[in-house]
Amino acid sequence: MIRNVLLIVQNNSFPFDRRVYKEALSLKNNGFNVFVICPKSEKENKSFETIDGIEVYRYKDLPASGGKLSYILEYFNSISKIFFKSIKLIFTKKIDAVHVANPPDFFWPLAKFVRLFGVKFIYDQHDLAPEVAKIKFQSNFFHKLLLLNEKLTVKNADGIIVVNNSFKQRLIERYKIDKNLCEIVYNGPPEHFDAKPNEQLISKYQNYKVVLYIGLMAASDNINIIIEAAKKIVFEQNRKNIKFLLVGDGYARASLENLTKQYNLTEYVEFLGLVDYERVKEYLYIADVCVAPDTPNGLNEYLTLVKVLEYLKAGKAFVSFDLLETRVIANESGLYANDLNDYVEKILYLLDNPDIAEKMGQKGKERINRNFLWKHSEQHLLALYDKLSDKS
């Protein structure tokens, strides 16, 4: 019987990592005792606190600067601290299951250790680390190393959680996993995630068409495409009554801001940084069209983009590139581009046809409410725990 669960997340603090927070809260609300280990962040920097009845234990991280060595140092520091904190909690809190969110995939030694004591190990695959490394480092060595670690993690897992069917099929084909012990848990928005009016923002942007991006700002997130699109729209199409609002942060932000200055776009492109959950809803309210710049690259085809889920839950049409899992989520609630010029044309089409954009957004909202809310995902999370409890 599983009652005490230890959730581990290495690449984000808690509760900033909304997926892990939703998982933890769902487990807590369904009778589990939940403990979390995560790194500190600038805002979430207490070594220990209790949030919504969840005990959170944080450690000081060494954030990577983007180079290979910096990632090695970050992971060595994190994994060693997580290992020792985990062992302490396993014995003091009588942990029944360790639930680890990737990246990274270096926790299989912890899996081997905890399983010696009858503790279940759950692998929660948020991202495809081997494909990420191949794109980021252009290195076959790192790609093969991470494939090996992924394999060892999968083989030592009692249960596996994935974010969509593409992830699941990839694991089945590559590692012949037991599909009955692999559950798809979409990172769906909560029911109350809706666009929310803010009179100050409405007044500030009332004379502009607003193009909105919400998400991370790493090199792999292709934000430069939004900047290139803005250049074409503002100067080549002479659309000066427009604002591109970029909500989020990441190590590529500084270079993106420099690119914006080089293109003389600072009047039209605003970097808003990290904002709280309520503020995100307010920016969604004023958006005329939302954008996802992720391009086909051997990784993005597999991904369910959280920003697209949020755009649609808020009733907003969007423009993205043609990616399989984006179509699975959105169907006809977005427009799908083939290249930069097509991307620009589709943004302009939605801006110039607000009635069509509104109808598409409403279809998307209905689709999310019907199939992809967190309350639907939660049932699959709990189903896996039920299966593992039955096997205890």
Task: Please check whether residue 343 is in contact with residue 319, taking contact to mean a CB–CB distance below 8 angstroms.
Answer: yes
Angle at 149 between CA 148 and CA 152, to 5 degrees: 90
- Distances in Å between the alpha carbon of 103 and those of 48, 56, 129? 23, 19, 6
Q: Walk me through the domains of the chain, giving residue ranges and CATH numbers.
A: 4-188+373-390 (3.40.50.2000), 199-371 (3.40.50.2000)
Per-residue pLDDT of the chain (392 residues; tens, 9 = 90+): 899 999 999 988 999 899 999 999 999 999 999 999 999 988 899 999 999 999 999 999 877 666 667 777 777 888 899 999 999 999 999 999 999 999 889 999 999 999 999 999 999 999 999 998 888 777 788 889 999 999 999 999 999 999 999 999 999 999 999 999 999 999 999 999 999 999 999 999 999 999 999 998 987 789 999 999 999 999 999 999 999 999 999 889 999 999 999 999 999 999 999 898 899 999 999 999 999 999 998 889 999 999 999 999 999 999 999 999 999 999 999 999 999 999 999 999 999 999 999 999 999 999 999 999 999 999 999 999 999 998 76
pTM beyond cutoff 0.85: yes
Q: Which two tokens stand for residue 220?
A: 């792999």
What are the residue ranges of helices labelled H in the chain?
18-29, 68-92, 108-115, 129-137, 140-155, 165-175, 199-204, 223-231, 253-262, 277-286, 306-313, 324-330, 340-352, 354-371, 374-390
d(CA 190, CA 93) in angstroms, rounded, equals 30
